[in-house]
Amino acid sequence: MKLLVTGGAGFIGSAVVRQAVAAGHEVINLDALTYAACLENVASVGNAPNYTFVEADIRDRPALDAALQTHQPDAIMHLAAESHVDRSIDGPGTFIDTNVMGTFHLLEAARSYWEGAGRPDTFRFHHISTDEVFGSLGATGMFTEETPYDPRSPYSASKASSDHLVRAWGETYGLPVVLTNCSNNYGPFHFPEKLIPVIILKALADKPLPIYGDGSNVRDWLYVEDHADALLLVVQKGAVGRSYNIGGENERSNLELVKTLCAILGEVRPKPSGSYADQITFVTDRPGHDARYAIDPTRIREELGWSPSVTVEDGLRRTVHWYLENEAWWRALQDRAGVGQRLGTGG
């Protein structure tokens, strides 16, 4: 397939690009190269004959029209977004601009391109979203595709809005859309402002390991390569108009997760004295911090035969090794604005 991937210089988008190129798809990576982007993430495929990079902003309609006309993709996989909840608390405007308005412009550009091509029913607009649109769970229960939307942060509200726009373009204009809502990802190339890289890098630097609140917030962790694999399956085999929840079936509280990371680090890079867990510090909670997310992945497992292949212990181990072996990559990103600082305290 010829795939136009937006946000392909980010964390998950770059995993999609690397896998899609390796699988022989023709890939056009369209990215505005914001603070969260890193072309190093796709350096391994940068010279592949089936890979092209286009620097463009999804809010720039003429640039989107030009990219679609030039490259004539069979499908758009839309991952470009502002993605950091803490930044959305400090500056929600960018999240509305990119995640809502950017998705609107991309939908309109896609509709015009698709109508111009004679409305092929093989075309796909695949919107990649998050489980955070469903809100927060108590101690039990799981998010299914039927769970009502209940976003609670500026980030999740902007993603929920974009999901609604995509469904509306499917219903109203017949654009062949498909959606996925995924749980927390982790793995190689994770930008060093997100929890897992923050913990690994602060642990190595002998700094306090900040845990929001009491660390009881539960997330369902999915290794990023598993997510990319699921996305490439959905764009090819997913039913039009349908959404699929993607999860890791790996629920962990933040405190458990950090303790596991500390134990792995202690094995592979032992401290001269004491344990990495001694560095754990509890800090003021994030305002509106959702208590628990958990995905019921029955639909994607039964209809498309997908399930995660990497356990959280194995994935965390691979991730720790990757950060130890790729110091030049993360050191270069630590100078970017806001990285390493506490953001999103709401005050």
Q: Choosing from 31, 132, 193, 251, which is the catalytic residue? A: 132
Beta-ladder partners of 280: 209
276 carries an active-site annotation: no
Q: Are 294 and 247 in contact (CB under 8 A)?
A: yes
Q: Residue with the closest Cβ to ligand NAD? A: 10
Pick the piece of the chain touching ligand NAD (CB under 6 A) from 17-25, 31-39, 141-149, 273-281: 31-39
Both tokens assigned to 25: 């798809």
Cα distances (angstroms) measured from residue 7 to each of 103, 108, 268, 297: 12, 18, 33, 25
Binds ligand NAD (CB under 6 A): choice among 191, 223, 306, 323 = 191
Question: How many residues form the binding site for ligand NAD (CB under 6 A)?
Answer: 31
Footprint (CB under 6 A) of ligand NAD, residues 133-172: 159
Residue 231, interface with ligand NAD (CB under 6 A)?
no
Binds ligand NAD (CB under 6 A): choice among 31, 163, 226, 249 = 31
Pick the piece of the chain touching ligand NAD (CB under 6 A) from 34-42, 112-120, 230-238, 279-287: 34-42
Footprint (CB under 6 A) of ligand NAD, residues 242-281: none
Residue 106, interface with ligand NAD (CB under 6 A)?
no
Q: Are 219 and 134 in contact (CB under 8 A)?
A: no
Longest Cα–Cα distance of the chain, Å, equals: 68
Helix (H) or strand (E) holding 181: strand 177-182
Q: Are 170 and 240 in contact (CB under 8 A)?
A: yes
CA distance 233 to 331: 34
Strands annotated E in 39-176: 51-55, 75-78, 124-130
Residue 10, interface with ligand NAD (CB under 6 A)?
yes
Binding site for ligand NAD (CB under 6 A): 6-7, 9-13, 31-34, 36-37, 57-59, 79-83, 98, 102, 128-130, 159, 182, 184-185, 191
Q: Point out the residues that are catalytic.
A: 131-132, 155
